[in-house]
DNA sequence: GCCCAGGTATAAA
DNA sequence: TTTATACATGGG
């Protein structure tokens, strides 16, 4: 990928489309917020960051060359070309073409494993604005101070708390799930750091030993937190999304990018629902 | 007020 | 093994 230093940061020219709004607002993450001027700000690895599109590239503010290599290349998956991934999905599974083409410029972020696990526990039976609110209160209450905001609290920090002490989050029944996850991660019975490489079936099973973690949360953790792009096995999830439209999708053809494909289906499904709701009124 | 949200635990069939 | 219901809370 091409990039260059500019005053106040680094400008990147990703291989394949990279749309900030579509990437940050597609439901894969909950801690990036759009500002009035169209830039996005968030906290990654305990550090405040802001970025915005500038012509043919994207500017990462206050970014050094070291930061690019140690954080952003991984976080934005800049070594991958998402145009070619889209093509591979679409060619391998023509049924998915409509979903793939429903949105452009999404990249799967490499979020931190614990943050992803915790976030998607909170996401269950919940809506995105409220999920963001709960996570914001979680960080404000128990995160460490960092420049421009508070970091995501560690599992160790939360493991010593009781569900009752999470009351200020207004997370409802999910409070005890968060605590159970924090304790299992903290004590090492769920080893997130091994899950980057370990066989994915074992990872699933290990994650699901946590109360409040079922198939969906496990897959989301693996995809968004451990960057396992093959998460969300096609045979289970794709048919479920819009049963009839996507029936017959073959796991073989896009298996290694099933998780990415799922992201397109998720967006496509939301569009379809919006059209139905909008049509009724 | 009502419906529902990036689901899961639990009980019942 | 599959299907039904409760769950806390608040956005739209």
What are A205-254's pLDDT values in tens digits? 999 999 999 999 999 999 999 999 999 998 888 777 776 778 778 777 88
Rounded-to-integer distance, Cα A237 and Cα A215, Å:
10
Rounded-to-integer distance, Cα A10 and Cα A83, Å:
23
Q: Which CATH class is domain A113-225?
A: mainly alpha
Residue A243 approaches strand C within 7 Å at CB: no
DSSP string, A78-101: TTS-HHHHHHHHHHH-GGGHHHHT
Q: In chain A, where does the domain assigned CATH 1.10.340.30 lie?
A: 113-225
Contacts of A232 (CB under 8 A, 6+ apart): A219, A223, A238, A258, A259, A261, A262
Query: Is the Cβ–Cβ distance between A83 and A252 less than 8 Å?
Result: no
Rounded-to-integer distance, Cα A103 and Cα A80, Å:
18
What sign does the dihedral A267-A111-A206-A184 (CA atoms) show? negative
CB within 7 A of strand C (chain A, 110-139): 125-127, 129-130, 133
The tens digit of pLDDT for each residue in A51-106 reads: 999 999 999 999 999 999 999 999 999 999 999 999 999 999 999 999 999 999 99
List residue ranges whose Cβ is under 7 angstroms from nucleic strand B: A 26-28, 120, 123-128, 130, 173, 208, 210-218, 220, 262-263, 266, 270, 273
The bases of strand B with some atom under 7 A from any protein CB are 4-10
**Can you give the pTM of this predicted structure?**
0.96
What CATH architecture does domain A2-79 belong to? 2-Layer Sandwich (3.30)
Q: In chain A, where does the domain assigned CATH 3.30.310.260 lie?
A: 2-79
**A277 CA to C4 C1', in Å?**
26
**A4 CA to C10 C1', in Å?**
45
């Amino acid at each position: 990928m091409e990039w260059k230093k500019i005053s106040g940061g680094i400008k990147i020219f990703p291989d394949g489309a990279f749309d900030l709004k579509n990437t940050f607002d597609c439901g894969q993450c909950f801690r990036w917020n759009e500002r009035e001027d169209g830039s996005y700000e968030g906290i990654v690895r305990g550090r405040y960051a802001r970025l915005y599109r500038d012509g043919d590239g994207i500017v990462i503010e206050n970014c050094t060359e070291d930061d690019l290599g140690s954080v952003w290349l991984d976080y934005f998956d800049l070594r991958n070309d998402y145009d070619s991934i889209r093509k591979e999905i679409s060619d391998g599974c023509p049924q998915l073409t409509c979903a793939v083409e429903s949105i452009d410029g999404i990249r799967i972020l490499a979020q931190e494993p614990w943050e992803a696990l915790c976030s998607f526990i909170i996401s269950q039976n919940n809506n995105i604005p409220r999920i963001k609110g709960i996570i914001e209160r979680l960080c404000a209450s128990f995160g460490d101070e960092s420049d421009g905001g508070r970091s995501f609290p560690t599992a160790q920090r939360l493991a010593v708390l009781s569900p009752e002490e999470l009351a200020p989050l207004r997370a409802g029944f999910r409070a005890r799930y968060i605590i159970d996850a924090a304790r299992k991660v903290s004590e090492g019975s769920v080893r997130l750091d091994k899950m980057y490489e370990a066989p994915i079936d074992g990872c699933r099973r290990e994650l699901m030993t946590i109360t409040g973690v079922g198939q969906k949360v496990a897959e989301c953790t693996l995809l968004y937190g451990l960057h396992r792009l093959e998460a969300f096995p096609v045979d289970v999830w794709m048919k479920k999304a819009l049963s009839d439209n996507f029936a017959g999708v073959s796991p073989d053809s896009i298996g290694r990018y099933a998780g990415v494909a799922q992201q397109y289906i998720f967006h496509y499904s939301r569009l379809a629902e919006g059209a139905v709701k909008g049509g009724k009124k």
